[in-house]
Structure 1
Amino acid sequence: MGKRAKPEEIIAKLREVEVRLSQGETIAHAVRAIGVTEQTFYRWRKEYGGLRVGQAKRMKEIEKENARLRRAVSDLTLDNQILQEVVRGKLLSPSRKRVAVDHVVDELGVSVRRACRVVGQHRSTQRREKTPRYDEGALTAAIIALAERFGRYGYRRITALLREAGWSVSTGRVYRIWRREGLKVPQKQPKRGRLWLNDGSCVRLRPAHKGHVWSYDFVQDRTHDGKIFRMLCVIDEFTRECLAIRVERRLNSRDVLDTLGELFLEHGPPEHIRSDNGPEFIATALREWLEALDVRTLYIEPGSPWENGYCESFNSKLRDELLAREIFYDLREAQVLIENWRLFYNTARPHSSLGYKPPAPRTILPATFMPPYRLKAA
């Protein structure tokens, strides 16, 4: 099989035939002289007749450029089809990209190389089979068990509980399992917009050491029969420790004084105590008693609960993690369960502002100690 003639060679042979014809030769003799058949000669003349060598080269370049553009448009069209197949959701992790590449190869029949290039997955990553760790199943079961027990905890606090139980695990690994298992903390009701004051009480005087500033406030709830009971919550703002939660049907200034007296005997009187302007806190007898013990009172501005931010934050945790999830059938049951939760809060519950450590851990107990408190079944 002979070599395929180039356009410039064809044009030269056509010029040679024209010269021979001008000298009186016949077409058959001239065609035989250039070594082709008459049919090939007529085809050449139809395609290249009247062209020069430079024009033929230019036409060939244009054809090559057109072919390249057609291939580019075809590639872009195919890439667009591939992207449309995987457009659902963001492809950030290698596992999701691996699934997307397999789907594109099955649906469009493209090569794995092409699909990996468009999706942005390295081929070695695509070929590598995922091998779970030896303790993946046990860790997943532990995370799910803690998430079921503490329904209002996120993955960071769950990580702290796992470490206290003896697991050597990173926050990122717990987060990946958390997302994979579809665990999620339900969103709270959006808070109302408020006018935040730059000189709020907890901003004017921040706690500097243990016993520097205490704060207390009332929380209200109901038993199963609809009767109201009140809780007096007292916390140390520096250590975040809940010093007491007194639960009674009614609480007045005398009950507040009795509770503070017991705490002063156990922990010593603080330098300051912060509260709102409730009648139980501004009673004359209580103020005179505190003044006699050299305890300064810090009253927040009326209608500005955010100025008592430490205690309000504790109250929200108490309601979110216990009161909103538990049914109390009588006052005694409420007293026992709330006291158990207070012990758990102080000794075992990870606190984010303390580096996910409990406010007052009991060093004489093992690291896995968790005071039991009952949670309502979902």
Structure 2
Amino acid sequence: MTSKRRRHTPEQIIRKLQDAEKLQAEGQDVAAVARELGVTEATYYRWKNQYGGMKAEDAKRLKELEKQNDRLKRLLADAELEKAALKELAGGKLLSPDRRRAGVHHLMRKMGLSERKSTMLTGLSRSAFRRRLKGETTADPDAALRGWLRAYAKAHPRWGYRRAYHDARAEGWAVNHKKVQRLWREEGLRVPVKRRRKRVGSSTAEAPPACAPNTVWAVDFQFDADETGRAIKIASIVDEHTRECLGGIVARSITGDDLTTHLDAIAAQQGLPQVLRCDNGPELISQAMADWAGEATGLHYIPPGSPWRNGYVESFNSRIRDECLNITSFWSLAHARMIITDWKKEYNTIRRHSALGYRSPAEYAEICTH
């Protein structure tokens, strides 16, 4: 029967090497020393090469460093594993318990992680993960309420969960609005919203390059509010060549008829442009605008969702927003009209424009020889 091989600790090896040095000092050779220590000569030389000159304290310190190194390796491996697990879950934030539970199942199935590790990474407690959901139980406690909601939605298909909640309370159901909303959503009883189809204006002419005054005018709307919160609608009309603001309207609301009346007033002084560039707002694609343009001038509508196609007036809107609307508090509509009119006059006559050689639009329009 063979005896089990005994493994020496570093402290034992250092002590035996110290004994070996004493034996060699007494005149014994290596073979006799190895027999005395109970090891082979190869083992003796390996010990001497590895632990020669060390003390027992050094061996103890070396052992502690090895343990610390092993612990750091495990921590690094755990960190790399957590990083890989988080990459697996990088499809979106795990906000709801259902998504966290699905993340736990995914990590356990895909990466072979333990339940404890997976729940820790997803931020879900183990008790919550192991708890059976109400929907998984055979007896659904909300089955009666679900049936009532389905019958209610069938009888009133255009009514939403808010009315259903108040009617359920009136009939004696002890529920709050959050539970009714959750069951309403789970049963797929959401009332579809009929969205209004956006109309797109049909252009009567392509906009030529604005190489001369009165070639292309651009019109656009923007909104602000007074101190009482009432809306203020602002219409601006810009000559794309001279950058002049030819006119504008400041009112609570602006219809297509209001805009065409104002355009007639500007055309009486400036003449009609070749093309009027605008977006697909309801005032601009109205029949009143089409009747006003007629055969006298062309209408060019930019594609929907492409404000950069109307860049001149959009740049003007950003200037009036930054230099006037954002720094002024209007206490009435009359006050807004006065401030905005004064700013447009300053824009045309005083404010220098970099694209015009740092001249004002009115100054450039006077020397324009096109």
- Give the structure-2-normalised TM-score: 0.47
Q: TM-score, normalised by structure 1?
A: 0.46
